[in-house]
Structure formats: C-alpha cells, structure tokens
C-alpha cells in the first residue's frame, strides 16, 4: 500500500500564520490611501543630520526612496554635509568659523565644500539608492543653471532685532531656480540627488544651506510635500513633547511666545516661507528613526511635525 503523508499544522502555527497575514493586510490597508494621494506627486526630501553618518539609517533611507519611486511618487533628494566638510577641513588643516550658524567660506573652503558635497557625499547617496534597486543620478545646483544664487551680505541679528552687514565669503542664497533638469529626471525612472552648491550669474561657486536649497527647490518645482530630516523628533511644546501638527496661525503664536526658539526658529521660519510659496505642507521629522520617510508619508500617525496652511 502506498501511504501519502499529509502536511499537518498545529493550532499555534495556524494562528501565527493568520496573525502575520492579518498584520500585512492592516499595513496595506493603512498605506494604500496615502499611496493613492501621493501618486504622481513630487516630494522634496532634505537628507541630513546623524542619519547620513549611520550606515543602517542611510541604507533604510535609500530603501525608502526606492520604494517611493516604485509606488508612483517622484522623490527628489537634497542633501547636506556640514560635518563631513568640517572633517575634511580638519584633515587639510584649514581653519573655519561660523557666523549665525553659517560657515565663513573663503576660496579654499568653497573648493573643499564643493569637493565633499558634489563629489563624495553625493555619489555615496547615489550608490546607496542604486544598490537598493533604484536609478539615482547625482547633480548639483550648478547643473543646467538649476540654482542661481548671490552672496549673503546681510544677516538677521535676533538679539538686536535688526539686519547687519557681514562678509562670510562664498556662502549664498537662492535668487533664481530653474527646475527643468529636475523635472526631466524625476518624470522618468530616474531619482535626482542634489548637492546644495549654487552658482552666481557670473559663474562663481557658492555654498548654500541645504534646508534653504531644498525649500527654494520645493517651491519652484511645485512639490506636494517638503520633508526636512533633522536630529530632533520635530517641533516641541513647552513641556518638550512633540507637536504632531501645526497651522500657520499657531506657528506664529508659538514663535511670538518663545516656545519655538533656538535652532528650530530659523527652520520653522523657513517652513513658513515654503508654505506661503504654495507647497501644501512641510514636515520636520526625526531622521534618526529608521524608515522615517515611509512612516511619515504612508502611515496615519507620521513621525514628526506636519506644518500646513490651516
């Protein structure tokens, strides 16, 4: 007699299998409405902070960017690199100082900044995304006249509540954004990864703050969202608890009563300019959370502070 041995499963295995399948269904059910809402939309993501120096977080970020592209979203990555620039300057024994958080940048420093930002960091991020199955292309603001800038010659002195003249060298601010190259890339199967290097109308290289660069680009390209990865959970209240969502009126109140202050103040003020420029919402999220981009965009709860008009 031929005996046929049937696979048997005990109740624990069946329960575990059911729970796993049910969990996947719940995740998909939660994500699907968000995926549909962002389908075909452009999301500008500023990548910076501690996540850039952490191998596992960088890999998770690269996976998130690839998943966004595969789900029909057009991600545009703008990256920083301040710590890496400082490290290279130290190696080359080039001294630098800061004025209101901006690095004083002479001719030698701007050459190092461009080398580190548009060279090493940019290509590392491109390689990380491509390793995860994406098709990333690295560019900077000089390519196709993407980011025309001018030197910063005046900065705000918050203590004295006035503007004062400064000379911080080759540090710039955007004056004209020509996003054609970004649109061409992102509307194909390619993912733009952009170093925050700009150029003057006379061809001089300028270093631009990555938040500022990403904000100007998001407005010019008509992005649906701007995500700013930071080293904090988001905007905190007076009890140091995360504020999940803010509108423009409440943002202004929190600024006026001093709850939004310090390093968060210029970031939030920049977010206000982005909102007033037509971007639907800006999110300040904690880049130290693995897969923070997907969690923010494709889950109901998000992982940071959402800033919107109303």
CATH of the domain at 55: 3.40.1160.10
Residue with tokens 């191998």: 55
Over residues 216-229, the mean pLDDT reads 97
Q: What residues form DSSP beta bridges with 79? A: 47
**Distance (Å, whole) CA 127 – CA 8:** 46
CB contact at 8 A, 212 and 223 = no
- 166: number of Cβ within 10 Å: 17
Residue 34 in any domain: the answer is no
Burial of 59 (0-12, 13-18, 19+ CB in 10 A): middle
- What's the domain count of the chain? 1
pLDDT confidence of residue 23: 52
111 forms beta bridges with none
Which residues lie closer than 8 Å to 135 by C-beta, 6 or more apart? 189, 190, 191
Is 92 domain-assigned?
Answer: yes
Cα distances from 82 to residues 65, 103, 152, 214, 216, in angstroms, run: 22, 9, 18, 15, 19
**Assigned domain for 88 exists:** yes
| Residue 28: pLDDT band with limits 50, 70, 90 | low
pLDDT tens for each residue of 106-136: 999 999 999 999 999 999 999 999 999 999 9
Would 123 be classed as within a structural domain?
yes
Average pLDDT, the chain: 89
With cut-offs at 50, 70 and 90, classify the pLDDT of residue 158: low
Residue 164 forms part of a structural domain: yes
Asked, for residue 36, whether it belongs to a domain, the answer is: no
Note down the domain range covering 289: 41-308
Q: Is residue 87 part of a domain?
A: yes
**Residue 130 has what pLDDT?**
98
Mean pLDDT of 70-87: 94
The structure's pTM equals 0.88
Residue 163 confidence (pLDDT) = 78
- Residue 1 inside a domain? The answer is no
């Amino acid at each position: 007699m031929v005996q046929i041995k049937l696979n048997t499963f005990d109740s624990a295995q069946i329960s575990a299998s059911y729970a796993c399948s049910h969990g996947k269904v719940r995740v998909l059910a939660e994500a699907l409405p968000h995926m549909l809402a962002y389908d075909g939309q452009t999301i500008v993501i500023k990548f910076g902070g501690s996540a850039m120096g952490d191998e596992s977080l960088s890999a998770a970020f690269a996976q998130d960017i690839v998943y966004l592209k595969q789900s029909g979203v057009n991600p545009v990555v703008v990256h920083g690199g301040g710590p890496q620039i400082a490290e290279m300057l130290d190696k080359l024994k080039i001294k630098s100082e800061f004025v209101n958080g901006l690095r004083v940048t002479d001719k030698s420093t701007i050459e190092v900044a461009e080398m580190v930002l548009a060279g090493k960091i940019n290509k590392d991020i491109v390689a990380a995304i491509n390793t995860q199955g994406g098709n990333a292309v690295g560019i900077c603001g000089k390519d196709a006249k993407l980011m025309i800038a001018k030197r910063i010659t005046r900065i705000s002195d918050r203590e004295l509540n006035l503007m004062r003249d400064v000379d911080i060298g080759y540090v710039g601010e955007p004056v004209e954004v020509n996003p054609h190259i970004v649109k061409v890339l992102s509307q194909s199967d390619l993912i733009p990864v952009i170093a925050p290097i700009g150029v003057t109308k006379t061809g001089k290289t300028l270093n631009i703050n990555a938040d500022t660069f990403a904000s100007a680009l998001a407005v010019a390209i008509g992005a649906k969202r701007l995500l700013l990865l930071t080293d904090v959970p988001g905007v905190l209240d007076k009890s140091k608890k995360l504020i999940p969502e803010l509108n423009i009126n409440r943002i202004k109140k929190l600024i006026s009563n001093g709850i939004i202050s310090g390093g968060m103040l210029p970031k939030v003020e920049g977010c206000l300019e982005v909102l007033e420029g037509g971007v639907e919402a800006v999110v300040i999220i904690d880049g130290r959370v693995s897969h923070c981009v997907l969690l923010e965009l494709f889950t109901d709860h998000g992982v940071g502070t959402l800033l919107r008009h109303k």
